[in-house]
Structure 1
Amino acid sequence: MGKIHGERTVDIEAPIQRCFDIAADIQNAPAWQGTLLDVDVLERDGAGRAAVADTKSDAKVKHVTTRLRFTYEEPGAIHWVQEKGDVKSLHGWWRLEDLGNDQTRASYGLEVDPGRVLGLLLRGPVEHQVRDFLLGKAAEGLKRTAEEG
């Protein structure tokens, strides 16, 4: 079993700063992100955003616990990497592009090495279902939340 990777892109009828502010509010992301169940912020950066957080996510076949470190490039990107957790490695990102006229293109991506034990649960078609499940909920959740306000 190799890495699970993918990216999902959506166009959002909202300004880039609004999209960034929603995506950067890591502590409240479980309300809209779908697969993220719980966040406990351990450290904050100089702007008050989550720098390190323990998270619990629904990976469809198992709940996965990770400690993530976040970096921000306002308003265009957010990156996170796993410091420790249930998977061997994890890197994720949001990339936001200002399309003008208060429209934003948002791309949500993940690269996950599930490791040997979790990898045994993710064989064949289940791997594709898990990848689609993880990617789709975040991108669609950001779109729905940004367009509601």
Structure 2
Amino acid sequence: MGLEGGELSFVTAASPSDCFAAVLDFESYPSWQGPIESCTVLERDSDGRGSLVESVVDLKIRQARYVLRYSYEEPRLVRWTFVEGDPKDVAGEFVFEDDGAGGTRGVYRQAIDVGRLGMLARGPAKAGLKKLLLDEAVRDLKARVEAA
């Protein structure tokens, strides 16, 4: 099937540093990232940031587990690549740019090869999965940083 995904631009009144910090707070994801049921940091980098993270996600059609490797360019970039799990491959990033007025212009990119999960995600279910991967992640991040 290959990697499929998309990108979504967004604007928030929160600073790039606040957005960056929220994305790095993996342990809190189940409380504010809608589809994420659990998130565990398995390894940390020399700065104490999660570098290897396991997540369990409710995809509506079933649960999926995956482990991602994270890299950073603080405070403007969080990038992840697939290590193991139910999908065949996952890659993505958040990019945060100062808007000149204390807020952030951001871009969220996410691509996934669902592998055998794809047999369950066809037609409307596949479109719903893409919406889940893009729209909900951005909506939930904006709600988190703007509530702070």
TM-score (norm 2): 0.93
User: 1:69 maps to which residue?
Assistant: 69
User: 1:134 maps to which residue?
Assistant: 133
3-state SS in 2 of match to 1:135: helix
Which structure 1 residue ranges, 4+ long, deviate > 3 Å from structure 2? none
The count of corresponding residues between Structure 1 and Structure 2 is 148
Return the structure number with greater relative CO, CA threshold 8 A, min gap 6.
1
**1:43-82 matches, cutoff 5 A:** 43-82=43-82
Identical aligned residues as a percent: 35
Report if aligned partners of 1:10, 1:140 keep a CA contact under 8 Å in 2.
no
Aligned-residue Cα RMSD (Å) equals 1.3
Q: Counterpart of 1:4 in structure 2: which amino acid? A: E
3-state SS in 1 of match to 2:14: coil
3-state SS in 1 of match to 2:99: strand
1:81 deviates by 1.1
Q: Which runs of 5+ in 1 are unaligned?
A: none
Q: Counterpart of 1:127 in structure 2: which amino acid? A: K
Report if aligned partners of 1:39, 1:55 keep a CA contact under 8 Å in 2.
yes
3-state SS in 2 of match to 1:11: strand
3-state SS in 2 of match to 1:29: helix
3-state SS in 1 of match to 2:91: strand
How many angstroms apart in 1 are the aligned matches of 2:28 and 2:36?
10
TM-score (norm 1): 0.93
Report if aligned partners of 2:5, 2:110 keep a CA contact under 8 Å in 1.
yes
Report if aligned partners of 1:65, 1:85 keep a CA contact under 8 Å in 2.
yes
> Are residue 104 (structure 1) and residue 94 (structure 2) matched?
no
Report if aligned partners of 1:106, 1:139 keep a CA contact under 8 Å in 2.
no
